[in-house]
Chain A
Amino acid sequence: MSTELHQFEAERLLLKGARLLDHASGLDERADLLIEDGMIVRRGPALEAAEAEVLELEGLTVVAGFVDLRVRLGEPGREDRETVESGLDAAAAGGYVAICVTPEATPVCDHAGAVTALLARAEEHAVTLLPLGAVTAGLKGERLADMGELARAGVAGFCEGNRGLQGGAALRGALSYSRMFGLPLFELARERSLAGGDVHEGPVALRMGLKGEPRLAEDLGVQLGIRLAEFEQAALHLQLISTRESVELLRQARSRGVRVSADCSPQHLALTHERCLDFDPSARLVPPLRPEEDRQALLEAVAGGVLDAICSDHRPAEFDELDREYPLCPFGCASLETAFAVAHQALVESGICSLERLLELFSAGPRRVLGLPPASFEAGAPAELTILDLDCAWTYRGAEALTLGVNSPWEGKSFRVRPAGLVNGRYAALRG
């Protein structure tokens, strides 16, 4: 039995009875919200509107819409992992109004046709799909993709996927060239000659008999990225930060004004490398899960503003490719539907940061990275809202999830908060 998602499009939407929460504008009140043609038109108590689609949101909280900076879908090429539709449904269940989709598809999203096709597939969905274009043609790391063409076709940024750019010259070229189009460059920074382990290099890798990837691979990659962004005076967004040292490098870079932003995944905020010991492939991530001291540094960085966003890093896989020898399983996990609940548990329930800060990391932060203004509750603003249930007990069950991906490290785990849906312009989606 899977989660039901009610999606609809309405010219006039009336949100009734919810708590409206927007720390940026100091808003925290129980009020109704009227949306017409995708724009917020009125806010106030006991609003009435003729011919409006009414959403009864008693007991729920409406916040600025969530944006995810890193999602991999399977379509085109690996629809058995995730289709555009299943991925966007999962994103809706995760409360996202928009998701950035990595170009890792077959064919690779490195030409206008691929962007157009992806956008067309997502057109009728409540969740906005923001395609990321490949940095190099075919993600081969050889020559730059036609970034101008990709920009005109509507990509939200550029990204080389899990492979990342190979070395300083490639990253420098990409930074320098992509700057012309005013779109962000996303990079998973690693020193490739030191990277490539199954798990974090440490006692866990040793006990498992597996090749480990040292922290150093990430630290040097982040260092190089920061220095190049500084040198080229270009903006760079570093994804999936996972080590103590790279957090420190970012802190220093920020303080001298380098235009570098960064995110991390909820998995790295909640789990450590000991989680790998039972050879469960859903905890085999890129970058690998790290020791507790790195997790602590990451929690602090997220709370203290060194990191800008939390991205789900959703990488769905299907059953058969996981049902095999550990080193042959694909990296990553399905995480769209658990991202907020996991991050809330790791950060808010544990007392590390406020709900306000967490919401920023899911909305204002990623929007800033993409060059978008923060979502607003004022009349005249486009309606981009996430609906949250901040007081519920639920348990993640893959069988009930909307993603096709079966690789969740959270199977059977219980949480206290859960997104209930979203409003995105004329569209809305609510979990049944």
Chain B
Amino acid sequence: MSSIGNETGRAALEPETAAVGLRHKHLLGLEDYGADEITLILDTAESFLEVLERPIKKVPTLRGITVVNLFFENSTRTRISFEMAEKRLSADTVNFSASSSSTQKGETLRDTAANIEAMKIDAVVMRHSAPGSCLFLSRCLESVIINAGDGAHEHPTQALLDLLSLRRRLGDLRGKRVTLVGDILHSRVALSNIYGLQKLGAHVQVCGPAPLIPRHIEELGVEVFWNVEEALENSDVLNVLRIQLERHNAHHFPSLREYHEEFGVTMDRLDRHASDELVILHPGPINRGVEISSEVADSGRSIILEQVTNGVAVRMAVLYLLLGGKTREH
């Protein structure tokens, strides 16, 4: 624990981390992570938030550790957030961006990754369009694998940063009602959010155009709404998902205008149907005027920018918990 940086950090971490550690070598998703592991990550992230408030925002925790950010799909926020987290922990970082299509033509994912691993690295953070690709990678490599989004499967660090943001705002999440509104079908964050929230005791609702709600999602224990106003009535939290224009066809919904009419989160809707304490999340990037109005996005209910800050802390916590042991080995 002393590797965290200074006395304050250590004091904040020790009571929790002394009790449990992560049972997993990788972070592939939250489906098989325990509530205790999730709580440990969030507690650890709280300590790193404190580090981020210091004038010198860097700790030597992962000195000598090399992390590769392997991004086969475009991502600004997640990639920068991971890179920032790695740098603040003093890890060496390498960024690799390639479109999946270019690798389909030539080198396989295994070869790309194996070549990078041969340069002696400790961890890979990967974003890839194919569900299961991080699991595949974990079977190919010795390195620690952190999933930064594998298609519509999982995006665990996004869910963790959402959880951290909510916990800081609302405290205990048990019994809280969280509504995910938007494109649940193609979302890379929906599943991880559902797993994480449920494990911490929250009740999850999903809301969106019927073709964008996967059938059978009730079997995960979530409640489905086609009417955003009904969903708002008893929600403590609204997590507004991005409408991903590039993924839709005419069979999903007719137009952005109609989407905004039916599901757009506007101040007027909130005033009429939501509690005053409702907290708004959005994983970004925002389509202003489509899924959320600027007025709401920039209001006091919205904690969108806190999410971004918390994202760095959560990723620091994940890297620390999965890789911190390696520095001790060294």
Closest residue of A by beta carbon distance from B195 = A207
Of the listed stretches B88-96, B129-137, B158-166, chain A binds B129-137
Asked if A210 is an interface residue, CB under 8 A from chain B, the answer is yes
Chain B residues in 8 Å Cβ range of A324 = 108-110, 136
Q: How far is the CB of B32 from chain A (nearest CB, A)?
A: 11
How far, in whole Å, are A206 and B220 apart by their CA atoms in the complex? 9
Contact A325 B109 (CB under 8 A): yes
Asked if A148 is an interface residue, CB under 8 A from chain B, the answer is no
Give the contacting residue for A326; candidates B108, B132, B215; CB below 8 A. Answer: B132
Using A206-B217, A209-B151, A209-B154 as known contacts, say yes or no to A279 and B108 having CB atoms under 8 A apart: no
Chain B residues in 8 Å Cβ range of A400 = none
Using A209-B191, A324-B108 as known contacts, say yes or no to A203 and B220 having CB atoms under 8 A apart: yes
Give the contacting residue for A327; candidates B108, B130, B135, B217; CB below 8 A. Answer: B130
8 A Cβ contacts from B143-184 to A:
150-154
Chain B residues in 8 Å Cβ range of A76 = none
Chain B residues in 8 Å Cβ range of A325 = 109, 128, 130, 132-133, 136
Contact A210 B216 (CB under 8 A): no
A interface residues, tally (CB under 8 Å): 18
Using A208-B153, A279-B136 as known contacts, say yes or no to A326 and B217 having CB atoms under 8 A apart: no
Q: How far is the CB of A160 from chain B (nearest CB, A)?
A: 26
Closest residue of B by beta carbon distance from A323 = B110
Contact A210 B108 (CB under 8 A): no
Asked if B115 is an interface residue, CB under 8 A from chain A, the answer is no
Closest residue of A by beta carbon distance from B214 = A206
- A202, A207, A210, A325: which has the most chain B beta carbons within 10 Å? A325
Chain A residues in 8 Å Cβ range of B130 = 325-328
Interface flags, B6-46, vs A, CB<8A=1, else 0: 00000000000000000000000001000000000000000
Asked if A201 is an interface residue, CB under 8 A from chain B, the answer is yes
Contact A208 B132 (CB under 8 A): yes
Asked if B246 is an interface residue, CB under 8 A from chain A, the answer is no
How far, in whole Å, are A226 and B55 apart by their CA atoms in the complex? 75
Interface flags, A192-211, vs B, CB<8A=1, else 0: 00000000011101111110
How far, in whole Å, are A206 and B224 apart by their CA atoms in the complex? 15
How far, in whole Å, are A323 and B136 apart by their CA atoms in the complex? 8
Chain B residues in 8 Å Cβ range of A320 = 108
Contact A207 B133 (CB under 8 A): no
Closest residue of B by beta carbon distance from A214 = B215
Chain A residues in 8 Å Cβ range of B136 = 279, 324-326
Give the contacting residue for B216; candidates A203, A209, A328; CB below 8 A. Answer: A203
How far, in whole Å, are A201 and B211 apart by their CA atoms in the complex? 14
Contact B104 A207 (CB under 8 A): no
How far, in whole Å, are A325 and B73 apart by their CA atoms in the complex? 14
Contact A207 B191 (CB under 8 A): yes
Q: How far is the CB of B69 from chain A (nearest CB, A)?
A: 18
Closest residue of B by beta carbon distance from A327 = B130
Contact B108 A323 (CB under 8 A): yes
How far, in whole Å, are A129 and B317 apart by their CA atoms in the complex? 61
Q: How far is the CB of B326 from chain A (nearest CB, A)?
A: 27
Asked if B219 is an interface residue, CB under 8 A from chain A, the answer is yes
How far, in whole Å, are A304 and B153 apart by their CA atoms in the complex? 40
Contact A279 B132 (CB under 8 A): yes
Chain A residues in 8 Å Cβ range of B132 = 208-210, 279, 325-327
8 A Cβ contacts from A307-353 to B:
320, 323-328
How far, in whole Å, are A326 and B135 apart by their CA atoms in the complex? 10
- B108, B131, B153, B217: which has the most chain A beta carbons within 10 Å? B131
Interface flags, A270-311, vs B, CB<8A=1, else 0: 000000001100000000000000000000000000000000
How far, in whole Å, are A208 and B131 apart by their CA atoms in the complex? 7
Contact B131 A206 (CB under 8 A): no
How far, in whole Å, are A206 and B214 apart by their CA atoms in the complex? 7
Using A324-B136, A325-B109, A326-B130 as known contacts, say yes or no to A209 and B31 having CB atoms under 8 A apart: no
Q: How far is the CB of A292 from chain B (nearest CB, A)?
A: 14
Give the contacting residue for B31; candidates A202, A207, A327; CB below 8 A. Answer: A207
- B132, B188, B214: which has the most chain A beta carbons within 10 Å? B132
Closest residue of A by beta carbon distance from B108 = A324
Q: How far is the CB of A273 from chain B (nearest CB, A)?
A: 11
Q: List 28 A-B contacts (CB under 8 A).
A: A201-B215, A201-B216, A202-B215, A202-B216, A203-B216, A203-B219, A203-B220, A205-B214, A206-B216, A207-B31, A208-B153, A209-B131, A209-B151, A209-B152, A209-B153, A210-B131, A210-B132, A279-B131, A279-B132, A279-B135, A320-B108, A323-B110, A324-B136, A325-B109, A325-B133, A326-B132, A327-B151, A328-B130
Seen from chain B, the residues whose Cβ lies within 8 Å of a Cβ on chain A are 31, 104, 108-110, 128, 130-133, 135-136, 150-154, 188, 191, 214-217, 219-220
State the 3 A-B residue pairs at the shortest beta-carbon distance, nearest first: A209-B153, A209-B131, A325-B130
